[in-house]
Structure 1
Amino acid sequence: MRSVEEIEKLLDQLEDCIADDLEAQDLDFKEWTDRSFGDNIKLIIKMAICMANGGGGHIVFGVADKVQKRRNAIRGVPVDLDLYELQKRVYEKTDPHLLPTFKEITVPEGTGTLLIVSVTGEMAPHTNTDGSATIRKGKDCIPLTGSLRKEMVGSSVTMDVTSEIVPEDWTTLVSATAIEKVREKMAEANAPEDLLSLKDFDLLNSIGALNGNYFTKGGLLIFGKSDAIQRLIPQYRWAYRRMLSDTDYIVRDDGYHPIPIAVHELERYLATDNPIMTVESGLFHHEFSTYPKIAIREALLNAFTHRDYRIHGAVMLKQYKDKLILTNPGTFMEGINPNNIVHHPSVPRNHHLMELLDRLHLVNRSNMGVPRIYRSLLVEGKEPPSYREVGNSIELSLIASSLFPGFKKFIADLSSENIHLDVDELLVLQYLLRHEQIDTSTAARVAQRNHDQARELLSKMTNESQLLEAVGRGKGRYYTLSKTTSDILKEEMSYERQITLDEEAVKMRILTLLKEQDLTNQEIRRMTGWNRKKVYKVITELESEGVQKVGWGRSAVYTLKDK
């Protein structure tokens, strides 16, 4: 961004051109209006937002941009402007708050004073307090639409707010309670003893939370006092609601506590209504929470670590009777979506904060957080989590599904036989606990894999671990739990293994395939294991559904009318 001195020199060019010709991505000229002071305030706010969203720059007030000759173009601004008041107005009317630099320069023309307003683009996107905004594109300010705003947030990977320096003595900002809580969690995570034994300054310095005698914002978020965080990172907040319905709640709490304490507070609230089921196993009685503690801890840390610290909003935990909903400000990073989140490599928005928590052994940078959430639920036979993007927030939902003791014991028995199931296999088994069958396309969707990977997964579960059985052939093939697996997991249900496919199910599959392509008698025989006569009989029964035979002999095909 150019300097104020460079802008002063640029004014001399007004002798040969108009100010509009000098404008650029980082520079604009505006005339000060005599109509009302309020109109000028609105213009300053609008232009500060526009320029900040465009990457930063300067707005020079007091210059008419369509008039040639310096003496004519430079009109000036009032000489008695209260720059502190102007700065305060912009700060109050922008979100996240903008704090521009205001500088008056002396000129011989007009009122003798020009005002230069300078902004950076470090925390874009910015809006005014009613949510509207513009963004600088070349020499124009264009509306910052939802798609443009999402693109800005998603693509700004290199801008890490948490790595910025807090220019105040760290000893006045640090929370002894936060340091104690961090050490407690480090010990639980089996952090190295040489790290745990460090004195406070040495610990903060060794992990990178301090830069000289200053906290980074990431360091402040982990170790800072609540009032310091609220003052210096006002866009940060956590919140809890115990909900009676979608609109009413009975418990509410909010705070600006550092992340370790915020996580502790949210876990504490949840623990007051997280029903426990006791399962007897020999002489032991094991207790299992409705929401596994591992899933909750990982979900909360993910929310605080990956939230967008450039925009205002709370990491919000809403606890309903039958579910938990956890939201955090920010959209999915580029390339990540709810359909690939299990296996997509980690793309941290806040690299510095992630590094600090990783060095403290509180998180893992290898994208193990999301799989851990899935696994902790799936091994107990519970529903997997559900992610979605809602506006400018990411929402995670956990269903209060019951423990399936038989399934947990089944997984433990497999482990004792050195058969360790990964998340993909658990997702397939979980699906088959609630559905009778699964095909390759469904397995690809459920396990978040491509078609070839899903086919390989089902083959492995059939041939190696013998958890599944394949039914049918070719395109009509699907998979069920093997008899052994079903006997263990579905003891209360009768298991009837059919050598051939269920006739009504086959009819539905044939109709589905015929919507996409014609089939020969041989293709249907290969798919079902039926003989030619059986296929002919079923096709005859499907004539009322629009199935007809076209051609004769081996060249004949079955097709759908009006396909």
Structure 2
Amino acid sequence: MWPSSSAPYLTTTKPLDERGVVLAVWTGFWHSADVLAGNAAEQRARLSGGLVISPSAQPTVTSLATASRSRCQRALNVTTVYVQWHPDHLFISNPGSFPHGITLENLLTHEPKPRNPRLYQAAKRLGLVEQTGRGIDKIYADQIRLGRPAPSYERSDSDAVRIVLRGGKANLGFAKLVAEQDEEGTPLKVEDLIILNHLEYERRIDVAAAAGLVQRPQSEARACVERLLERGLLEAKGERKGRVYHLSAWVYRVLGQPESYVRVHGIARQRQEALVVEFLKAHDRAERKHIVDLCGINGPQAGRLLKGMVEAGILKRLGSPPRWTYYILAKK
């Protein structure tokens, strides 16, 4: 484990004038910078236009933004902000719960609600924060655009807001994809990044799951994934409620994982039929559940596959539908 930092900044309880507030914020910011400095391990990737990206091995930009925000919020108090740097992640604990009305379920979409307006005005004068207060968006975007897992606030409770920022080796393929979208003048929004990041790890997503991730209504989440579909970043399978999305073949090539596309896209229908035939040659009979496991598809998809093979004269269905149905090879 890397060293931890935990120190209160100002132990006075006397009211501060504007100059004092600015000084306290500036002190908190530079202490955060000192804590997070010194991590120089880099990777490099050259983009098509000659632009070189060099993400550090730890989420430095995001870490500094998050830590300085926590330090600024506590700069006038005697409570302690903990910053722990582990080999694979950064952990920051900021005493006190989320502001009233903000929860884990609306963290990304709730209107800005700074705990202390005077601190934010001071930090704004120093150029450390945005006037809009959309720091959460920047924390998510800076972390995800390098292909790392999204920030996690799941350890937060009524006593403290806690965030985990995963570090380690960046995904240069993902960073290149995001940077090239920026260069083309079509930057990805934070909700786009969240969905693409999820699909990098989980392979598939539907509209309901997307809505939960980006903390927006399903209508907005559907518009988001369909926009990514139109841009060639996603592909879709199924219709209506059964419609799911996955990364496109082009994206998997950029990520350097062309074989992953084959796995997520699914085995071709002809290959599925061949697997079923081989299974029946070895085991004489098969139920739908066997085909689900064999081909890596869901129950309705297995049902349609078997029905098609029966209609084509390849299989014969026996038993009492729907519960006791099984299939054998049709005699030629």
TM-score normalised over the length of structure 2: 0.72
Alignment-derived partner of residue 117 in structure 2: 351
| Matching residue within 440, 456, 463 for 2:223 | 456
Q: Distance in 1 between matches of 2:54 and 2:183?
A: 21
1:92-135 residue CA offsets vs partner (Å, 9 max, x unmatched): xxxxxxxxxxxxxxxxxxxxxxxxxxxxxxxxxxxxxxxxxxxx
Match status 1:404 vs 2:171: yes
Contact 1:473/1:529 (8 A) holds in 2: no
Match status 1:425 vs 2:192: yes
Match status 1:314 vs 2:114: no
Percent identity between matched residues is 24
1:384 positional shift = 1.2
Counterparts in 2 of 1:535 and 1:390: CA distance versus 1, 3 Å: farther
Matches within 5 A, 1:105-254: 166=15, 215-216=16-17, 219-223=19-23
Q: Distance in 2 between matches of 1:427 and 1:411?
A: 12
1:287 positional shift = 3.3
1:177-210 residue CA offsets vs partner (Å, 9 max, x unmatched): xxxxxxxxxxxxxxxxxxxxxxxxxxxxxxxxxx
Letter matched to residue 277 of structure 1 = E
Counterparts in 2 of 1:531 and 1:303: CA distance versus 1, 3 Å: same
Contact 1:427/1:446 (8 A) holds in 2: yes
Contact 2:248/2:261 (8 A) holds in 1: no
Q: Distance in 1 between matches of 2:46 and 2:54?
A: 11
Q: Distance in 1 between matches of 2:153 and 2:94?
A: 12
> Which secondary structure does the structure 2 equivalent of 1:346 belong to?
coil
Matches within 5 A, 1:379-528: 379-388=145-154, 389-462=156-229, 464-491=230-257, 493=259, 495-496=261-262, 497-498=265-266, 504=292, 509-510=298-299
Greater RCO structure (CA 8 Å; 6+ sep): 2
User: For structure 1, which runs of at least 5 residues remain unmatched after alignment?
Assistant: 1-163, 167-214, 224-257, 511-523, 550-563
Q: Distance in 1 between matches of 2:73 and 2:32?
A: 17
User: For structure 2, which runs of at least 5 residues remain unmatched after alignment?
Assistant: 1-12, 273-290, 325-332
Alignment-derived partner of residue 281 in structure 1: 46
Counterparts in 2 of 1:534 and 1:286: CA distance versus 1, 3 Å: closer
1:326-359 residue CA offsets vs partner (Å, 9 max, x unmatched): 1111101122112321222111121122122223
> Which secondary structure does the structure 2 equivalent of 1:398 belong to?
strand
**Number of matched residues?**
281
Q: Distance in 1 between matches of 2:63 and 2:296?
A: 45
Counterparts in 2 of 1:459 and 1:492: CA distance versus 1, 3 Å: closer
1:429 positional shift = 0.9
Counterparts in 2 of 1:534 and 1:507: CA distance versus 1, 3 Å: farther
Contact 1:219/1:353 (8 A) holds in 2: no
1:256-314 residue CA offsets vs partner (Å, 9 max, x unmatched): xx332233223223223x3522315388865321233321222023213445967x521
Alignment-derived partner of residue 297 in structure 1: 64
